[in-house]
Amino acid sequence: MVITNDAQVNELSLLEKNVKKERRKLLVKRFVSNKTLVTGTAMLVFLTLFSFAGPLISQFSPLDIDPANRLQGPTAEHWFGTDNFGRDLFSRVASGAQVSMGVGLSVAVLTAIIGMVIGLYAAYYSILDHVLMRFSDALMAFPDILLAIAIMAVLGPQPVNVVIAVTLAKIPVVARIVRSSALVIKEQTYIEAMRAQGASSWRIIWRHILPNTVSPLIVQVTYVFAIAIILEAALSFLGAGVPAPDPSWGNILFDGKIVIYNAWWMTVFPGAFIVLAVLALNLFGDGLRDLLDPHSNKAIKE
Amino acid sequence: MLLKQHDKESLQRDNSVLQVRNLKKYFPIASPFGRVSGHVKAVESVSFDLFESRTLGLVGESGCGKSTTGRSILRLIEPSDGSVIYKGEDVLKLKQKQFQKYRREMQMVFQDPHSSLNPKKRIGELIEEPMEIHKIGTKSERMERAMDLLRRTGIREDQYFRFPHEFSGGQRQRIGIARALAVDPSVIVLDEPVSALDVSIQSQVLNLLEEIQDEFKLSYLFISHDLSVVRHIADEIGVMYLGHMVEKAPTDDLFANPLHPYTQALLSAIPIPDRKQRRERIIIKGDVPSPIDPPKGCVFHTRCPFAMEQCKTVTPVMQQHSTGHEVACHLY
């Protein structure tokens, strides 16, 4: 058969297109039938919209102080009320969402990339494994929050430093997940088959082991995303996170702590959003795990 | 007459593609602190030749070292000693990098068709990958060849973009065979290629293997524990026991006239479909001794019904009994 023939090339690309279309249809079907995933995704979409559209809808800037109207409850004007400096809480929570979720997302992406590289190479080279895993044991032996505070103390309170601190605390978790699934994949016959072909380690690691560890990695990373939001909030609450006056869910909570008995809205609204975001990510992660697991095909409803 | 015999032998030697001599593989047993406390003697001085367009079957019970032998030849496991001579060169002496070009010539088909194909790759990519590794052809030439191989191994070309899990066991094994053929090898090690398949599928895959053997002039090393399968496909059979090759003979010769007591016992274990026809079963007593500490002398003497005093001390060597029929036993 000669493929240089134009008609045959067309036929082939048409075939590829059809197969891909078929697969996409199946994926959409599985996505829709997965209620957890749909709920989680919807909540995440809502939160993203809220964080970007919120500051635009609101007529108040999150940083404008208005001492005459301090600590007012939710009204038609100030939907979430005002804080102890008279700043509009709705716009603060909305732009706080940008900061908190931004930190969470950056941490998720960074831990995914770094953890993946460490995990893959640790699984492949056993000497490297011993070294890297002892490092990660050491990191994991510290409580996350303590480690993050220590790093923040060294680097200074900056949103970027929050990302660095939380990333460092969470890399071992992701690296271990990738390593453990890579260790299983490494022993599969198809890896031996590649070795029999004389494939380079680079090819085996990146082209054969990596694609098979991606699903547990993605699932784990969504959980890291959620934990990063909580850690950021905790750090900001303790005063070691995003510095005032920039809003983040954590430091709004911190401001609200003093007035918790007379201004419930300052605690409830940012708190509710933290819960919402973490819940959304956990649902998303669970749903994603079901979607990526090939054995869950039976979950499709006709 | 004498000359004729000589001609025959030299002809055979000329067609020999691969010579394995005194292949040994000892796996070290390390204590938790890394001290080597002993060795598992998986393969002990195995020698044989592979001939062009011919099949050597390796049979024996599990743990006898037949798979290790196959893997050692391809250096998936580094052998401890011995030589594998391909085209006049001892490939075991080469560095991995130099061995790379020989990998093209020696391919393998694995037992489990479910785990031997990467589930995340399209079957087309799987077949093209060996060509990519050995830098053969352009992208479109590789694709063309992959399509061609799919067709020849009995898979429709339009399945090119499908994933392995969309195929049955037999089809996957065909894909595995197509992948082995991709780089145009001359030797293929078949490690129990049909034992994971249904009986009806087995014969189809065996027929495919026979077809492509003639077409591509392939030498097979066919590893199996299934005697009836080996009888069907092999031209010559080597019987292994506890890492040793105890008997090697042309297939018909071996089945008609098994010499080694172990071979006799093995053959008597093949079930006969006819209920009326009874055969005396030779049942060997006891278990296979540990390969960590194999018996002295003949490895089989602990279970052999004909064991003599000599067997306990002197290790028998492979001796020619009749043309092409070799046996390692003191009885002959």
Q: So what's the pLDDT on residue B8?
A: 47
Mean pLDDT of A137-152: 89
Highest-scoring range by mean pLDDT, A49-58, A105-114, A124-133: A105-114
CB pair distance less than 8 Å for A197 and B162: no
CB pair distance less than 8 Å for B118 and A212: yes
Mean pLDDT of A41-58: 90
CATH topology (fold) of A30-48+87-299 = MetI-like fold (1.10.3720)
Q: So what's the pLDDT on residue B3?
A: 43
Mean per-residue pLDDT over chain B, rounded? 88
Digit-coded pLDDT (tens) for B61-116: 888 889 999 999 999 999 999 999 998 889 888 888 888 888 999 999 999 988 99
The percent of residues above 70 in pLDDT, for chain A, comes to 94
Mean per-residue pLDDT over chain A, rounded? 87
Q: Which two tokens stand for residue B313?
A: 């001390």
CB pair distance less than 8 Å for B103 and A212: no
Digit-coded pLDDT (tens) for B166-205: 899 999 999 999 999 999 999 999 999 998 898 889 999 9
Segment among B104-113, B272-281, B291-300 with least mean pLDDT = B272-281
First to last CA, chain A: 40
User: Which of A3, A10, A27, A197 best tests the B interface by mutation, with the highest count of B CBs <10 A?
Assistant: A197
Q: So what's the pLDDT on residue A302?
A: 38
Mean pLDDT of B127-153: 91
Q: So what's the pLDDT on residue A10?
A: 72
Q: So what's the pLDDT on residue B308?
A: 87
Query: How far A206 CA sits from the closest chain B CA (Å)?
Result: 12
Query: Is the CB of A193 inside 8 Å of chain B's CB atoms?
Result: yes
Q: So what's the pLDDT on residue A296?
A: 53
Mean pLDDT of B251-271: 90
Q: So what's the pLDDT on residue B10?
A: 45
Residue A242 has pLDDT above 70, yes or no: yes
Mean pLDDT of A154-180: 92
Helix (H) or strand (E) holding B43: strand B36-51
Residues from chain B that touch A196, judged by Cβ atoms under 8 A, are: 74, 76, 103, 107-108
Residue A68 has pLDDT above 90, yes or no: no
B140 falls within a domain = no
Residue B7 has pLDDT above 60, yes or no: no
Q: So what's the pLDDT on residue B11?
A: 46
Residue A125 has pLDDT above 70, yes or no: yes
Digit-coded pLDDT (tens) for B306-320: 888 888 888 898 888
Q: Using CA atoms, how far apart are residues B125 and B117, in angstroms rounded to an integer?
A: 11
Q: Using CA atoms, how far apart are residues B134 and B101, in angstroms rounded to an integer?
A: 8
CATH number, position B209: 3.40.50.300
Mean pLDDT of A115-137: 93
Rounded to the nearest 5°, which phi and psi values hold at B56? -105, 125
B252 falls within a domain = no
Q: So what's the pLDDT on residue A298?
A: 47
B167 falls within a domain = no
Digit-coded pLDDT (tens) for B29-60: 887 777 888 889 899 889 999 998 999 999 98
Residue B17 has pLDDT above 80, yes or no: yes
Q: Using CA atoms, how far apart are residues B332 and B328, in angstroms rounded to an integer?
A: 8
Q: So what's the pLDDT on residue A295?
A: 58
Is the distance from CB of B240 to CB of B41 less than 8 angstroms?
Answer: no
Residues from chain B that touch A189, judged by Cβ atoms under 8 A, are: 110-112, 115-116
Q: So what's the pLDDT on residue B212?
A: 93
Q: So what's the pLDDT on residue B287?
A: 83
B201 falls within a domain = yes
Q: So what's the pLDDT on residue A6?
A: 64
Residue A105 has pLDDT above 90, yes or no: yes
Residue A297 has pLDDT above 60, yes or no: no
Q: So what's the pLDDT on residue A7?
A: 66
Residue B6 has pLDDT above 50, yes or no: no
Q: Smallest Cα–Cα separation from B110: which of B212, B226, B171, B190?
A: B190
- Domain range spanning residue B205? 2-105+185-246
CB pair distance less than 8 Å for B115 and A211: no
ipTM: 0.83
CB pair distance less than 8 Å for B76 and A19: no
Digit-coded pLDDT (tens) for B244-260: 999 999 999 999 999 99
Residues in chain A: 302
User: Which of A9, A18, A189 best tests the B interface by mutation, with the highest count of B CBs <10 A?
Assistant: A189
- Residue A72: CB partners within 8 Å, gap ≥ 6? A78, A81, A82, A86
Q: Which two tokens stand for residue B43?
A: 């393969």
Query: Is the CB of A16 inside 8 Å of chain B's CB atoms?
Result: yes
Residue B150 has pLDDT above 90, yes or no: yes
Q: Using CA atoms, how far apart are residues A49 and A185, in angstroms rounded to an integer?
A: 39
> Structurally, how many domains does chain B consist of?
1
Query: Is the CB of B74 inside 8 Å of chain A's CB atoms?
Result: yes
Largest CA distance in chain A: 83
- A2 band by pLDDT with thresholds 50, 70 and 90: very low
Digit-coded pLDDT (tens) for A189-226: 999 999 988 889 999 999 999 999 988 898 899 999 99
Is the distance from CB of A290 to CB of A34 less than 8 angstroms?
Answer: yes
